[in-house]
Structure 1
């Protein structure tokens, strides 16, 4: 029983680090696009924007 508790605590720590990294990544996207790029911060989640970026990279 003690081993499964340690595994659970470790799993929670790893998942919390992954979630925190994702949140910080999205905050960074919003700051980069909204403040540095002079766009609306929420527009970074637009599907059309990402399609344009991927089309630009592929060409």
Structure 2
């Protein structure tokens, strides 16, 4: 399970980089830039959720 979370985080970081390349800082809140910005925020939330899951699993293992 540990490797799956690491792979998922790596894929998410790749998607964040890809979406960051789409951003147009001149028109950040219009068109494709808005979609990329929303995607970046959603992907950052996904990373946080995966890290919380990983921490909860390590706490669970220590409590046993």
Name 1:43's counterpart in structure 2.
none
Unaligned runs of at least 5 residues, structure 1:
37-59
Aligned length: 35
Matching residue within 3, 25, 44 for 1:15: 44
Structure 1: distance between partners of 2:42 and 2:61: 28
Residues 18-37 of structure 1: pairs in structure 2 closer than 5 A: 18-34=47-63, 36=64
RMSD of aligned alpha carbons: 0.8
Pick aligned residue for 1:6 from 35, 38, 61: 35
* 4+ runs deviating over 3 angstroms: none
Compare CA radii of gyration and give the structure with the larger one: 1
TM-score (normalised: structure 1) = 0.55
The runs of 5 or more residues in structure 2 that have no matched partner are 1-29
